[in-house]
Amino acid sequence: MLTIYGVYRSRAARVYWMAGELGIPFKSVPVIQARRLANPLAPDAPLNTLSPEFVTVNPMGMIPSIKDGDLVMHESLAINLYLARKHGGLLSGQTVEEDGFLTMWTIWALAELEPHTVKIVYIYDDGHENTDTGKATIDVACRSMKRPLAVLERQLTDKDWIVGDRFTAADLNVAEVLRYGQTEQALFEAHPKVNAWLKRCQSRPAYLAMQATRSKEPV
């Protein structure tokens, strides 16, 4: 059985969503981020990214990780491409070309969007969104995202999904990267096709189920 390491309030959410889309059984091991704990190495600390038993799974001390039989794998977006390839049917590439485009858009999201969306979500997580520094950081992140969002807007000009004519791992991966920046509504309203596409992604039953579980975890 697939084992997913990581809480839902982390990048592991992407993997939980993918597992839900694929309808595959999995075991969840809730590893929390060490930065959320005053002393992550205390004897009574909950399982976290610095716990010795987790570091044996992922020496980088990052979540998520998975075990799938004898396979141990890290990096959420790569995990999703792997799971789609193994189980995905129409969520995976149906040709070599489609498979290449799924990888391309995933790497594009990681390189062009996530550095900025992560800055936004961290500002909100730390409660700094109304400070001068927080506002300046968010403004720079939003300006940096305008060009890649314009590219995605053009990609969606005459289609509902990023690759082919269906929801794929590319949509899931890009949508999850963008979710971290959704607090900035004006940025998305300025890109109506991206905004509509993101709503389609986030109306899927597997996404809603993932979010329902996520909402039950401590902030």
Same domain, 101 and 37: no
- Whether residues 141 and 117 share a domain: the answer is yes
Same domain assignment for residues 98 and 203: yes
Number of domains in the chain: 2
Does the pLDDT of residue 143 top 90, yes or no? yes
Give me the pLDDT at residue 88, please. 78
Cα four-point dihedral sign 16, 74, 198, 98 = negative
Distance between terminal CA atoms of the chain? 28
pLDDT in the model for residue 57: 98
Do the domain assignments include residue 114? yes
Dist. CA 146–CA 166, nearest whole Å: 25
Tens digits of residue pLDDT in 67-97: 999 999 999 999 999 999 999 799 999 999 9
Q: What was the pLDDT predicted at 219?
A: 86
**pLDDT digit string, tens, across residues 100-120:** 999 999 999 999 999 999 999
63 and 166 assigned to the same domain: no
Which strand (E) or helix (H) includes residue 169? helix 169-179
Give the pLDDT of residue 179: 98
Could you tell me the CATH number of the domain that includes residue 156?
A: 1.20.1050.10
Q: Say whether both 113 and 203 belong to one domain.
A: yes
As a whole-number percent, the residues of the chain with pLDDT over 70 amount to 100
Are 120 and 190 members of one domain? Answer: yes
**Other Cβ atoms within 10 Å of 111 Cβ, number:** 10
Mean of per-residue pLDDT scores for the chain: 97
Last residue of a domain, one of 57, 87, 117: 87
For residues 122-138, give the mean pLDDT: 97
- Which token pair is 214? 């996520």
Each residue's pLDDT tens digit, 177-194: 999 999 999 999 999 999
- Supply angle C-alpha 95, 96, 98, rounded to 5: 65
